[in-house]
Homo-oligomer: A and B are copies of this chain.
Amino acid sequence: MNSSGFDVFFLTMGAAMVLAMHAGFAFLEVGTVRKKNQVNALVRVITDFGFSTVAYFFIGFSVAYGINFFAPVSELNNIGDASNGYEMVHFFFLLTFAAAIPAIISGGVTERIRFWPNVLASVILVALIYPFYEGLIWAGNFGFQAWLNSTFGAEFHDFAGSVVVHAMGGFLAFGAVFMLGARKGRYTRDGRVNAILPSNIPFLALGSWILCVGWFGFNVMSAGNAEGASGLVAINSLLAMVGGLLAALVAGRNDPGFVHNGALAGLVAICAGSDIVHPVGALSIGIVAGVGFVYGFQLIQTRLKLDDVLGVIPLHGGAGLWGGIAAGIFGSTAMGGAGGVTFMSQLVGSLTGVSIAIAGGLLVYGAIKTTMGLRLSEEDEYMGADLAIHQVSANPEEDMGA
């Protein structure tokens, strides 16, 4: 029996689940922003996904893996050792990761970013910056992994992308949010934070649930083929999610936003080590991520005065970085893990990713800001991105009275 068909099936399910996560990103954002920006959140997320696909198909994938699809179908079906067009569904699966980069950033820049400058940034990030680091870590490009291995005794281990995807996205958002500035009315003249209340908790929760469920495709299917599917990855994802949500419940004093984001923080943090840490380690990793998210969110908004609307810097950036490092701690055999990792490789690998992200974000968003401008006019921001950009509100029948 030919196993390629099964692997195509396996990755199709994974890709569909991570594709669904993009709907999750959209609804998490729809629920968190004000009503006048809901439509824009929806359109921006799906548009970013569209342009990301094009960017990764024509450029990004070959930057990372040196594979492209400019050959007749008959050859495409048999790239590599595989048949059944395995490499094409593999592309699809990895694209859904790449496209998560703008989806993550979206939650930070929402309610005030202009439409096309945002698209441009997404394209640059998905075509070049993300695949550069992705290739460094997952394709062994430029000898970085080999160097870590010879220097610190192991490669940098990031099974499903705590750092490659999440910390990358979260810290790219840092540059974007910094360049954009805070929403009008977010800070008083004397520097206190004004709360801007979310529009719709059920949509926020819906987004979180979709992300949670899809995440099992993100993590388990990161094995790449059905034969390698691992029950350990599944249970660890579960326990980290639970650790994150329960910790955020307590630290966030029952706030629904914290609870539902806490689950995601746990999942972000477990990606890197889900195939090597012990389930109790996964629970601990999740707990730290959940508490870290609650305090990180408040710290960033009050101390750093960064108006990161959904808290993507602490959620994806902070928890992702923690996940990369935590794999070096809880993955060791001393902690009941499977071993094969070293703390130093994890630390250096993670910080390298974070540095690239911060530098890349400042650069890309800074350049766009100075050349074409990043931000809606004050009037458009006041009116809301929905009417300003899309000429329609979230509930047209009710709002626009026909």
Contacts and interface: CB of A to CB of B under 8 A. Distances in A.
B220 A336 contact: no
A184 interface: no
A337 B77 CA distance: 11
Name A's interface SS: helix
A297 to B, nearest CB: 15
Contacts of A213: 16, 19-20, 23
Nearest to A215: B16
Interface stretch (A30-38, A145-153, A154-162, A310-318): A30-38
Contact of A30 (B54, B70, B202, B390): B202
Copies in the complex: 3
A365 interface: no
Given A27-B202, A202-B27, A246-B54, A238 B95 contact: yes
Interface string A249-271: 10001111101100100000000
Interface string A361-402: 000000000000000000000000000011111111110101
A97 interface: no
A187 interface: no
Interface string A25-59: 01100100011001100110011011101100100
A29 B235 CA distance: 27
A148 to B, nearest CB: 22
- Which 8 interchain pairs have the tightest Cβ spacing? A85-B231, A89-B231, A23-B209, A88-B231, A197-B396, A88-B235, A5-B227, A8-B229
